[in-house]
Amino acid sequence: MRLLLDTHTFLRWDEDTLPRSVRRRIEVADEVFVSAASAWEIAIKSGLGKIVVKAPLGEAILDYGFTALPITFGHADAVRGLPLHHRDPFDRLLIAQAQTESLTVVSRDPAFSAYAVPVVWS
């Protein structure tokens, strides 16, 4: 299985606070992606003082053996076709990336399930 971690999931992975069953699914996945959209969201929230990060996201992704998922024009264009079930622009981009790249999203956010994308955990 190829997984895309949403921002919240990545942060909880980094803090080692994910439910054991979710952590195990990530550990046994064929490939685990973290989007540049999450890096952007984390940078914004860190800059506002809402969260504290230990290291740059790029370093953390490599340390965990995850794969960085860049944002392409195709991903951005796919957002345009999404229904407005979810208004968070970062999450909408993650949904578009998951659809475009045939990834399963790992998220506790129930709004992800309203889209045509497989979701683990919500």
In terms of CATH architecture, what is 2-121? Answer: 3-Layer(aba) Sandwich (3.40)
Tokens 């949904």: give the residue: 95
Please tell me the number of Cα atoms within 13 Å of 115 on its side-chain side.
31
Q: What is the structure's pLDDT at 122?
A: 56
- pTM attached to this predicted model: 0.93
- The domain spans of the chain are 2-121
Handedness of CA 111, 112, 118, 122 (dihedral sign): negative
Report the chain (122 residues): mean pLDDT per 10 consecutive residues: 97 94 96 97 93 86 95 96 88 96 96 92 72
Sheet holding 31-35, edge to edge: 67-69, 31-35, 2-5, 104-107, 119-121
